[in-house]
Structure 1
Amino acid sequence: MVRLADLLEIERAHHLERLHVMPEMGAPTLVAGVSLSKRRVAIVTTAGMHVRSDIPFNTTGSGTDYRVIPGDVASADLVMSHVSVNFDRSGFQSDANVVFPLERLKELAEQKYIGSVARFHYSFMGAIWPITKYEAKARELAALLRADGVDAVVLSPV
């Protein structure tokens, strides 16, 4: 990940200006639930991940599309088509679990730390702005997660 201090002044100013247009989220409402050992867990990432046979992410679409990643996908079949030039892909190239910890989730399920791993996981392209455009897709995704019985999500913002 690039640091602000490493960017050209014009790039740094651009990113800092975005802070002023971030939507107000308010305080979250926290609720108690079943123990983690009984939860079904999915991954939602903004790493631009997809299965090799899927259509890559690009900047010409709506920017709010996502890719469905099956829970049984092999790491070798995962591709990252993140469009940000400021994103360092070397960690992902060494180990996909750095941004998409599917193997770690499977290990946690085997060790009974979590109840189960979801059948499907989801990836967005994180370099799209503004983030307020995601609300409709987030609601759509929430319905898919509910249909899969998911009650916990690992968010992997990239």
Structure 2
Amino acid sequence: MNTPQNRIRAIAAVSGWVALAATLLPGGSPLRWLPVLLFVCVGPGLALLHPQPHGLRPGARLEAFALAAPISLSLAALTATLLFLIEGFSVPAFLVPLAAFSTVVAFLPGLPLPAATRGAVEPEAAESFRFRKRGPGGGR
């Protein structure tokens, strides 16, 4: 089945390897640093959050994209720190663990998002506490 959900999972799984392949291009080229930058900033986080079993509602999609960058950057910082501590930092050594992580988690169910479980900014009925009509005296 070629569903949008499967396409998103495939893109998340392949994005790290595309970024790694882009490092083989000549230095200074935007075709080299742009895929790496995009992957490091949002790739692992989207792979971890986005593959939800029933898709995402609009509010949950926004939440997933808003959380993807901090999660991705945190994973990148942890990876870079570990590589610096063992004195083995290089761009390929940095991208391979992030790409492998993204590939594995892209095929697992995404982490549950609070907005996905509580209705995700769907308009509530007029019975909402903010729109509740009060009696003639304004009280309950």
Same fold (TM over 0.5): no
Say which structure is richer in helix: 2
Larger Rg: 2
Say which structure is richer in strand: 1
